[in-house]
Amino acid sequence: MTSPDGRAARLAVRRLSLSDFRCYGRLRLDVDSRPVVLTGSNGAGKTNLLESLSFLAPGRGMRRATLADVARHGLEAGAPWAVSVVLEGGDGRIEIGTGRETGVERRAVRIDGQPARPGDLAGYVSALWLVPAMDRLFGEGAGGRRRFLDRLVLGLSPGHAAQATAYEHAMRERTRLLRAGGADADWLAALEDGMARHGVAVAAARLEATARLDAACRAGLGPFPAARLAVVGEVEGWLAGGSAPAEAEDRLRMALTRARARDEAAGGATIGPHRSDLAVRHAAKDLAVGQCSTGEQKAVLVAIVLAQARLQTVLAGRAPLLLLDEVVAHLDEVRRAALFDELCALPAQSWMTGTDELLFAGFGDRAQFFRVADATVTPSEVET
């Protein structure tokens, strides 16, 4: 599908509908393909709208919530909820719906009215997000950075989610058997074989994606700092050191077998890609980003997400929807202007929130503005 001027159509949500989601009983919001700016006081429901859009991608959404967590406040446990969108892009218009049905303890998905699996969503749309909690990404444990990295990898390799899920399933089953004691050696070996095969695939995808993203981030983006990225982990180290995937699988399989007693005592696997980390350095300062100021950490995060969006556009042929919660916090006027220019240039829609709409005035008429108050969304205008 192309626009009147002949360019490829911009990937965009054209209609968002919610039913019993967080603070929203019913909502229908119609928008055009420009960036969407949502402003209002804290607790008004802005972030809930971004979270609903994050369920367009596989996984648990930007808050990693359980299905029960996102049902409308005050409803009984297990209440159903629904998110649906009309998505417009290069393949025309498609309707995607997801949510929790009555009596169903799994996430339901429909694509153009037909039942689908959550993993199928990766074939239609990807999404990246930044939330205020991620401002602490470089100063806290490795788990958050791994999840951030895997979201980036997923945008370049849609099969990554299936490999990661299979690895984690095998790892959980192995841990359960070790804790129970007296596990059958052949069954443990089969699970370790699965961990080895899927784990090496996960590590290889992370290495490839990180190398591409590192190259994209080295030059920086306007006033945003250049960054150096590397994935750090034992399995990734084997592959980076020249081990072929089959050799790395053998090494991981043998390491898991030798570590059974240690893992039983530890209550989980002590080796594998589930322990890897993403290392990020501020290139100009040659300093770990976690040692930089809050403002510089936020600027590096924004630079990584923008570089990823560019990479996906070139390599995957489809830019991600960007969900940016309180994104202008800690950004000065020069960086805000550069961010707005980049978001307008990307061939996919972005959704942003903030408490002060004047901070978004640099968009001018390139964006559409809405005020959110008490779970009500109304159009607004910002003076430039």
Least confident window among 35-49, 82-96, 270-284? 82-96
- Distance between CA atoms of 240 and 129, rounded to whole angstroms? 29
- Asked if residue 6 has pLDDT above 70, the reply is no
**What confidence tens digit (pLDDT) does each residue in 259-306 have?**
999 999 999 999 999 999 999 999 999 999 999 999 999 999 999 999
CB neighbourhood size of 194 (10 A): 18
In angstroms, the Cα distances linking 115 to 44, 108, 110, 125, 306 are 33, 8, 5, 17, 33
Q: State the residue for tokens 């969900």.
A: 323
| 173 and 286 assigned to the same domain | yes
CA-closest candidate to residue 349, choices 109, 82, 125: 125
pLDDT of residue 124: 87
For residue 119, the model assigns a pLDDT of: 84
Rounded to whole angstroms, the Cα distance separating 227 from 219 reads 8
Q: Among residues of the chain, what percentage have pLDDT more than 90?
A: 80
199 and 116 within one domain: no
Residue where a domain stops, chosen among 272, 294, 316 = 316
Distance CA 357, CA 369 (A): 8
The least confident of 25-34, 102-111, 206-215 is: 102-111
Radius of gyration of the chain (CA): 22
Q: Give the model's pLDDT for residue 183.
A: 79
Angle at 203 between CA 201 and CA 209, to 5 degrees: 100
- Cβ-count burial 133-164 (b if 16+ within 10 Å, e if not): ebbebbeeebebbbbbbbbbbbbbbbebbebb
Q: Are residues 114 and 156 in the same domain?
A: no
Q: Name every residue whose Cβ is closer than 8 Å to that of residue 195 and which is 6 or more positions away in sequence.
A: 167, 170, 171, 174, 252, 253, 256, 269, 272
Say yes or no: 164 and 298 in one domain: yes
Give the pLDDT band of residue 122 (cuts 50, 70, 90). Answer: confident
Question: Residue 171: its pLDDT value, please?
Answer: 98
The total domain count for the chain is 2
Residues 202 and 351 in one domain: no
In angstroms, rounded to a whole number, what is the distance separating the alpha carbons of residues 83 and 88? 16
Share above pLDDT 70 across residues of the chain, in percent, rounded to a whole number: 97
Assigned token pair, 131: 């939330």
Locate 314 and state its tokens.
Answer: 């070139």
Residue 9 binned pLDDT confidence (cut-offs 50, 70, 90):
low
| Residues 354, 310 within the same domain | no
> What is the span of the domain harbouring residue 230?
135-316
Most confidently predicted of 66-75, 158-167, 278-287: 278-287
Q: The pTM is what?
A: 0.91
